[in-house]
Amino acid sequence: MQITGMFLPVPTPFEEDGSIDSSMMRELVDYYIGVGVDALFIAGSFGNGPAMSIDERKALAKVVLEQARSRVPVVIHCGTPDPYTSIDLAKHALAAGADGVGFVGPYYYADHSQDEVRMHFKQVGQAIKAPIMLYNNPKYQGYPIGAELMAKLRDDSPQIFGAKLAMGTVGDVKLHRNTLGEDFSIYALSSILFPGMLVGQSGTISPPLASMPELGVQLVRAIRNQDFARALELQKAVIEFEGALMTPAVAREAGRGVQLAAMRELGLKIKKYPRWPTGELSPQRHEWLKDVFAKARAALAVPVG
């Protein structure tokens, strides 16, 4: 599978009681496809997949795939602490029509040896022959999956088509490209798309851009069109937008509540996100957020050819 460009991680909206808001999820799928994203990533960290039950994750996958109707590729995250549950989720997602499945490293037991991680993915790969994406998130899984280990995992399971790097630099992208070859997809930070996509980065899976996906879509389009002056301006806007949402003072005040406020700023009537209790923005911060969005929209004012 070849996915390049804006690979959007979709947030899962919830009802006030913590159940999945399926109606809003369908609206989000249509919205993101409508603005031109290249693919959807479901039930990852930003999608709160690990915070849901197995039955809820299966129900979410079914809703998304029904709504997407093969308009863009959809990859469902199926990572869990053990291979058996991961395989069960993946088989369900593929039977429901997913184009591929993703797996973070087995989490919670952060003292896994590299051999244990390799055996986990080998067991998954033996059971799942569809396209697989690795999700290397050292902060959440508790340990890194470096380029050399990724290469071994792909040797075991050639259907592994790429990996999301939760963090990293252009140098990290180049290291993974040199280690894993030209046919391996590498999704890294949106803050390095330009020049990342010129030196081997396939695209980005960026949670902050779920609140301003047009920025990412236009940036990718400018890079593809070799309109590098426009790409530079849009890259600056992406960095400023993401940096604002990740400001430490804002995180201390509202936690992931800033992400809910940002999505509501788009006009999306999301009742609850994330699934757990979190803070809220103060009235002053809401005014600040409006200014952040105004600056991002100003950067979008000049159309890309």
Q: Give the active site residues.
A: 135, 164
Containing 165, the helix (H) or strand (E) segment is strand 160-165
Q: Are 7 and 41 in contact (CB under 8 A)?
A: yes
Counting Cβ atoms within 10 Å, is residue 137 exposed (0-12), middle (13-18) or buried (19+)? Answer: buried
What would the two tokens of residue 50 be?
């690990």
Q: Are 4 and 43 in contact (CB under 8 A)?
A: no
Q: How far apart are the first and last CA of the chain?
A: 27
What would the two tokens of residue 134 be?
């690795």
Number of C-beta neighbours around residue 30 at 10 A: 14
